[in-house]
């Protein structure tokens, strides 16, 4: 009888610790957790088309370039899979998922001038408007990366 009780207690402790290890950090109010299939090259991730069997976020359009931020170990794991289709999961700010303006192809967008430059003569910082994701994890995905 003691062995049955000790086994039950051990299983309960192991179940609790495994559930605690799976908890993710809470999402800030101005952000959203997304999963995006695509390909990486360096710190840039290019989103690919969503398929019915692959989950993803609808606001992220195919071909969107996203700057990845994350711990060095995680980024080196992703770098080791360059050229292979992966899906990354991470946090993005809500306002940056849909960039302003109209896409005309080839990664070019036409947008109205920002309120910070009323004359329109000031050249903006290209990094300031870059879409970014704080990567929390990745996994292999179905598909091919085109170069």
Average pLDDT over residues 64-71: 93
The whole-angstrom separation of Cα 76 and Cα 71 is: 9
Domain chopping of the chain, boundaries: 32-111+125-147
Which class does domain 32-111+125-147 fall in? mainly beta
pTM of the model: 0.65
pLDDT at 41: 93
Average pLDDT over residues 106-121: 58
Dihedral through CA 132, CA 133, CA 138, CA 139, nearest 10?
Answer: -60
Residue that the structure tokens 């990354």 belong to: 88
């Amino acid at each position: 009888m003691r062995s049955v009780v000790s086994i039950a207690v051990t299983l309960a402790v192991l179940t609790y610790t495994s559930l605690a290890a799976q908890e993710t950090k809470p999402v800030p109010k101005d952000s959203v957790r997304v999963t995006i299939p695509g390909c990486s090259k360096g710190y840039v991730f290019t989103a690919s088309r969503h398929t019915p069997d692959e989950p993803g976020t609808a606001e992220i359009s195919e071909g969107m370039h996203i700057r990845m931020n994350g711990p060095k170990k995680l980024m080196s794991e992703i770098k080791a899979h360059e050229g292979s289709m992966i899906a990354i999961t991470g946090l993005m700010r809500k306002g940056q998922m849909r960039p302003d303006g109209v896409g005309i192809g080839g990664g070019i967008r036409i947008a109205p001038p920002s309120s910070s430059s009323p004359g329109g003569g000031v050249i903006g910082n290209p990094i300031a408007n870059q879409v970014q994701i704080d990567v929390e994890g990745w996994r292999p995905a179905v598909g091919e990366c085109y170069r």
